[in-house]
Chain A
């Protein structure tokens, strides 16, 4: 089989977004290498588009800041700085030079709390969204690829999941499983997959009709090969763009659940800081620093993921770009 470099409809060699013509693939050693080179180039094209997306870059910038904060919290920060038995700051004190974000009712620096909380908030957001993506992608791919009765059954379950009021369900699940970090992660994962499943299914339905699927089937490909080599790679952009938006929702959900006291009482997360502030009377005592800072962090991180998600969406669906 003769392999030619990819040709754009006009007959010209396809150009990278930067305008530089792409090099031909060179001496062909193996199909795997070709796939690899193509993927790397696709990634390069993707990045050169992403780079020009202001929202996307802003999102990545904010996110990197908080990832740095979480890494700092994990490897550098002294865990005693948020332990009530080791701190000796003034209680519920407004911001000073020594405590730039003030202190809580144990005299713990709110800044230290926020740094410590960044780890848990990001961790919960990311793991919960991985669970969501796994369930959503598997259900969506199986339903879309199989069709027929399997599709009907899976979509009935998905629609059922969509109408369940998530927080009420989360509260019920958490009270049966008991409050812990695992509970929060599982609860978010189990309640937010239906939206993803619908999206992935819609994408798989359109992939299924493409000529290369038919060609591959004619060449004798089995379902497993088809899903792993053709359906999954093509559905991946949609799955990833959605995953980023799911992280945003997962972080917000973590905050609500921690605020209701469903998290591990011994770990600090942004939600639990707000919970403690509320329980400690920060609103009525006017201790604004204790409330404002963790909330601002939540808003920033959620917005950064939303921005990245919007940017990815725009690149994947060029039709959206007019907006």
Chain B
């Protein structure tokens, strides 16, 4: 399969999955609940007269038949990236504009911690796998298992206790100091100061998993015949590792990491909440608390879209480096 066909095929698959998410989302919010209006207004604590209900029903298009009327307009809206309007959190504001505001801090937080934990986890995994059973490996295995068994928000709370409450080195909450208008360099250091603890929490939380994935992938490869061949040819151990083992071990790691991206986002929700970090995760918690369903629905949609995108990227990378999978 040529590169273009492969990319096209994967992109179409991703789009189909995204469409399935839209259908699923529609089903969750419009079909499953007995009365979507009750569900919508429950959080606001409103008692509505039948006339008000009918009006709302009309406004949301709920008086149309579920299929095709409601469904088609829902799909059309989503395709135009119109994710509805917030009903409680920020009444009347478009969910899309809310997301635009909250997405950047989350991208910075999740992005930086993913990059740090990936680099560290992969490097440690290579070394640990190569020197399997030695002191470093034993230590990192134990460390990774403990980190893996830990709820990430609990780790965050421990870090607050230590670095913020006890030592006072870093702020425990927020994205920037409130009530102070820093500019230029001070603004930048203030942001970094606030970013440090949540980013450290997420980095540590992901690190354990990436270490275990990379290590086990490398061990799989080290057991392959071509490694024995390379060694028999007299290739130096360092080059066996670099040229033969690591390159092949990285590929399955990419897939597994993309698959675990859903968990990465889950971690971002609880950690942003613990650190009062105003990103999409913090917004999710607020929307959950206030039962702002359009916002929750939108969050579920973009979180799924993010995971689907991560998987698409990993498929393309995999296909680029290992053309055999294109035909699988």
Contact = CB atoms under 8 A, between A and B. Distances in A.
Interface stretch (A40-48, A172-180, A214-222, A233-241): A172-180
A160 B276 CA distance: 32
Interface in A159-199: 159-160, 162-169, 171-173, 175-176
Given A163-B17, A171-B296, A284-B172, A252 B151 contact: yes
A299 B146 CA distance: 7
A285 B172 CA distance: 12
Contacts of B165: 283-286
Interface in B142-160: 145-146, 148-151, 153-154, 157-158, 160
Interface in B238-273: 259, 261-263, 265-266, 269-270, 273
A288 interface: yes
B106 interface: no
Contacts, number: 143
A168 B266 CA distance: 7
A274 B274 CA distance: 11
Interface stretch (B49-57, B69-77, B175-183, B301-309): B301-309
Nearest to A171: B288
A284 B262 CA distance: 30
Interface stretch (A20-28, A95-103, A254-262): A254-262
A168 B269 contact: yes
Interface in B205-232: 216, 219, 223
B201 interface: no
A313 B86 CA distance: 48
A274 B33 CA distance: 31
B304 A295 contact: no
Interface centre among B165, B261, B289 (most CB of A within 10 A): B165
Contact of A292 (B28, B158, B262): B158
A302 interface: yes
Interface in A285-301: 285-286, 288, 291-292, 295, 298-300
A289 to B, nearest CB: 11
A256 B219 contact: no
A106 interface: no
B265 A175 contact: no
A286 B157 contact: no
A278 interface: yes
A303 B157 contact: no
B154 A291 contact: yes
Main secondary structure of the interface of A (DSSP, over half): helix
B291 A176 contact: no
Given A163-B307, A283-B172, A256 B151 contact: yes
A145 to B, nearest CB: 22
Nearest to B261: A165
B157 A167 contact: no
B166 interface: yes
Given A165-B266, A176-B33, A176-B39, A306 B145 contact: yes
A322 interface: yes
B297 interface: yes
Given A168-B284, A303-B149, A323-B132, A298 B266 contact: no
A165 B296 CA distance: 13
Given A165-B262, A175-B288, A274 B307 contact: no
Contact of B270 (A175, A256, A298): A256
Interface centre among A160, A248, A285, A292 (most CB of B within 10 A): A160
A288 B157 CA distance: 9
- Range of interface residues on A (Cβ < 8 Å): 35 or more
A166 B160 CA distance: 26
Contacts of B85: none
A316 to B, nearest CB: 16
Given A163-B308, A286-B166, A168 B146 contact: no
Contact of A169 (B151, B166, B216, B300): B300
A301 to B, nearest CB: 8
Given A163-B311, A172-B297, A274-B154, A286 B161 contact: yes
Contacts of B297: 172
Interface centre among B146, B216, B300 (most CB of A within 10 A): B300
B262 A163 contact: yes
A278 B157 contact: yes
A203 to B, nearest CB: 18
Interface string B74-113: 0000000000000000000000000000000000000000
A168 B149 contact: no
B293 interface: yes
A175 B165 CA distance: 33
B22 interface: no
Contact of A260 (B24, B39, B262, B285): B285
B20 interface: yes
B153 A256 contact: yes
B150 A299 contact: yes
B307 A164 contact: yes
B254 to A, nearest CB: 15
B316 interface: no
B262 A259 contact: no
B32 interface: yes
B265 A168 contact: yes
A261 B286 CA distance: 12
Contacts of B284: 168, 171
A103 B153 CA distance: 21
20 contacts: A163-B262, A165-B304, A165-B306, A166-B266, A169-B300, A171-B299, A172-B300, A176-B29, A176-B33, A255-B151, A256-B270, A260-B270, A260-B288, A278-B274, A283-B165, A295-B158, A298-B149, A298-B151, A303-B145, A319-B223
Given A283-B172, A302-B150, 5 more contacts: A171-B299, A278-B153, A292-B158, A303-B149, A306-B148
Interface of A: 159-160, 162-169, 171-173, 175-176, 248, 252, 255-256, 259-262, 271, 274, 277-278, 282-286, 288, 291-292, 295, 298-300, 302-303, 306, 319, 322-323
